């Protein structure tokens, strides 16, 4: 079905929240036929936006996956959704056998991957979804196997390595080497645009409700970035336009734009995870809060409920001692103050993972901002950061 989504409709949907009928508030056009509705969670977890055109036709990952055992899949950071498995399957399964991978694909049990399997067990279509990079599992069955945790950054997933395994790169060793170099938890969403190799961490897709701007450099709002990544990085079939990037991509039918409101609703529903019980010292954390708001001056940028001033200000790289390169590749040339809720969950820190731990990050700020914090103050500040 062809449908063009107007700005007005998007605004209307945003306000109307969870009810997901595209026609619901389109008062101007009552005679229009009902428009397809999209389930927010299913869109995030299972929709490929037609990116099989890239992952199957170009990368031929349908062939690659047939040679990969579940053990290897887990080793590159792919996750298995235990709730999609019939009971007893795992106990009986041979995780070293690629045939088991095919069984998992038939069950839609590999997080972030959608495949079609023919009667002879050959994989005819392979595509990826948002959940590939922005979900993980709780490891409740085994490492890499458990219940889905939507919105959690896939920090042990190695997307570059996964892409590099494609035979498409057999005669392109330099490109393959770039993808191989990224490592777990990182991806470069501009490499295929500007040829620069400087991957960034996969961020959480939770905790973004009420955050004014998305992405490390504050390129725009959630839907802008969802659109960009779905069309230009995942290979989804949809429209995307950006003057700054000199892109005007059109696809008929547009399998991306009509789903952006559903994705937005789902992402806005994902709350940051609370710190595990006993994971920080409450008294020290309370002292750390005063340091955060006082002597350490953190709150002048990490302000408000979401710990970010993104609504009003972006920051030059030197203000935080960040590597400036990534900012130069986007439109804003600056960095957005990162929201801090759930920060305990996803080391390392800063867009490029420059700081391995919260203590490393605190030492860094102490130097760059000339704070003169003593050791106890640093420890207290870290306890506070762990509590957010
Ligand atoms: C191959 C991995 C990958 C896939 C697939 C992917 N993303 Fe991302 N996503 C990233 C990376 C890397 C960034 C960081 C880019 C930046 O901030 O400049 C990012 C950034 C984001 C952000 C910004 C978060 C913030 O802190 O502001 C959101 C929201 C997001 N992605 C949602 C999605 C959605 C929805 C989809 C599916 C349409 C998707 N992503 C698919 C890797 C991925
Ligand atoms: C001048 C504004 C500013 C000040 C002051 C500031 N920050 Fe930040 N903060 C930022 C920006 C911008 C980023 C993103 C940097 C990057 O990704 O390279 C950031 C990133 C972070 C991150 C990493 C989040 C993540 O998910 O990677 C943490 C944690 C953090 N700041 C804590 C603090 C603490 C603690 C202080 C006080 C000692 C502080 N900040 C002071 C602007 C600021």
Q: What is the pLDDT of residue 33?
A: 52
Instruction: Give yes or no for residue 293 having a pLDDT over 60.
Output: yes
- Residue having the nearest C-alpha atom to atom 13 of ligand 1: 202
**Dihedral sign for Cα atoms in the order 45, 49, 50, 53:** negative
**pTM for the predicted model, two decimal places:** 0.91
Instruction: Give yes or no for residue 294 having a pLDDT over 60.
Output: yes
Quick one: average pLDDT of 193-219? Answer: 96
DSSP class of 319: H
335 in Cβ contact with 215 (< 8 Å): no
Query: What are the tokens at 197?
Result: 């190799």
DSSP class of 276: P
Indicate the pLDDT class of residue 34, thresholds 50, 70 and 90: low
231 in Cβ contact with 249 (< 8 Å): yes
> Which residue from 105, 118, 119 is spatially nearest to 48, judged by alpha carbons?
105
Of the bound ligands, which one is closest to the alpha carbon of residue 315? 2
- Separation between Cα atoms, residue 100 and residue 268, nearest integer Å: 35
Q: Is ligand 1 within 6 A of the CB of residue 234?
A: yes
25 in Cβ contact with 12 (< 8 Å): yes
Quick one: average pLDDT of 141-169? Answer: 97
**Domains, the chain:** 5-268 (no CATH), 282-387 (1.10.760.10)
- Separation between Cα atoms, residue 66 and residue 126, nearest integer Å: 11
- Residue having the nearest C-alpha atom to atom 26 of ligand 1: 215
- Separation between Cα atoms, residue 271 and residue 86, nearest integer Å: 29
- Residue having the nearest C-alpha atom to atom 17 of ligand 1: 215
Quick one: average pLDDT of 117-142? Answer: 97
Quick one: average pLDDT of 221-232? Answer: 97
Tallying the residues shown for the chain, one arrives at 388
Of the bound ligands, which one is closest to the alpha carbon of residue 360? 2
Q: Is ligand 2 within 6 A of the CB of residue 295?
A: no
Q: SS3 of 100, please?
A: helix
Largest CA distance in the chain: 69
CA dihedral 128, 133, 139, 143 (to 10 degrees): 80
DSSP class of 270: -
Q: What is the pLDDT of residue 307?
A: 97
Q: What is the pLDDT of residue 2?
A: 33
Q: What is the pLDDT of residue 24?
A: 35
Quick one: average pLDDT of 277-293? Answer: 98
Q: SS3 of 201, please?
A: strand
Instruction: Give yes or no for residue 12 having a pLDDT over 90.
Output: no
Instruction: Give yes or no for residue 22 having a pLDDT over 90.
Output: no
Q: What is the pLDDT of residue 36?
A: 75
Of the bound ligands, which one is closest to the alpha carbon of residue 179? 1
What are the two backbone dihedrals, phi and then psi, of residue 214, each rounded to the nearest 5 degrees? -105, 165
> Which residue from 104, 40, 11, 60 is spatially nearest to 268, judged by alpha carbons?
40
Condensed to tens digits (0 to 9), the pLDDT of residues 68-104 reads 999 999 999 999 999 999 988 888 899 999 999 999 9
Q: What is the pLDDT of residue 4?
A: 36
Condensed to tens digits (0 to 9), the pLDDT of residues 306-317 reads 999 999 999 999
Condensed to tens digits (0 to 9), the pLDDT of residues 365-374 reads 999 999 999 9
Instruction: Give yes or no for residue 25 having a pLDDT over 90.
Output: no
Condensed to tens digits (0 to 9), the pLDDT of residues 227-263 reads 999 999 999 999 999 998 899 999 999 999 999 999 9
Q: What is the pLDDT of residue 92?
A: 87
Instruction: Give yes or no for residue 42 having a pLDDT over 50.
Output: yes
Instruction: Give yes or no for residue 18 having a pLDDT over 70.
Output: no
């Amino acid at each position: 079905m062809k449908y063009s989504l107007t700005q007005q409709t998007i605004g209307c949907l945003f306000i109307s929240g969870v009810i997901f009928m595209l026609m619901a508030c389109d008062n101007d056009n009552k005679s229009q036929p009902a428009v397809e509705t999209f389930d927010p969670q299913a869109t995030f977890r299972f929709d490929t936006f037609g990116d099989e055109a890239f992952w199957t036709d170009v990368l031929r990952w349908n062939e690659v996956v047939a040679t990969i055992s579940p053990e290897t899949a887990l080793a590159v950071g792919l996750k298995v959704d235990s709730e999609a498995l019939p009971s007893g399957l795992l106990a009986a399964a041979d995780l070293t056998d690629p045939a088991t991978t095919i069984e998992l694909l038939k069950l839609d049990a590999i997080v972030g991957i959608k495949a079609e399997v023919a009667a002879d067990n050959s994989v005819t279509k392979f595509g990826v979804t948002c959940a590939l990079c922005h979900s993980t599992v709780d490891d409740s069955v085994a490492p890499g196997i458990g219940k889905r945790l939507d919105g959690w950054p896939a920090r042990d997933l190695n997307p570059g390595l996964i892409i590099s395994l494609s035979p498409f790169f057999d005669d392109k060793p330099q490109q393959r080497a770039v993808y191989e170099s990224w490592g777990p938890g990182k991806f470069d969403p501009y490499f295929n645009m500007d040829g620069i190799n400087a991957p960034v961490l996969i961020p959480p897709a939770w905790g973004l409700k009420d955050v004014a701007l998305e992405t490390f450099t504050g390129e725009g709002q959630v839907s802008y970035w969802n659109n960009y990544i779905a069309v230009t990085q995942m290979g989804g079939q949809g429209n995307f336009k950006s003057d700054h990037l000199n892109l005007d991509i059109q696809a008929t039918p547009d399998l991306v734009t009509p789903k952006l409101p559903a994705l937005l609703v789902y992402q806005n529903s994902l709350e940051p995870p609370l710190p595990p019980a006993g994971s920080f010292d409450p008294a020290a954390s309370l002292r750390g809060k005063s340091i955060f708001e006082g002597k350490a001056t953190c709150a002048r940028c990490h302000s408000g409920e979401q710990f970010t001033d993104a609504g009003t200000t972006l920051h030059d790289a030197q203000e935080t001692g960040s590597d400036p390169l990534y900012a130069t590749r986007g439109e804003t040339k600056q960095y957005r103050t990162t929201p801090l809720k759930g920060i305990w969950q996803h080391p390392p820190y800063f867009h490029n993972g420059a700081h391995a731990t919260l203590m490393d990050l605190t030492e860094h700020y102490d130097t760059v901002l000339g704070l003169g914090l003593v050791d106890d103050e640093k420890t207290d500040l870290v306890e506070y950061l762990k509590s957010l």
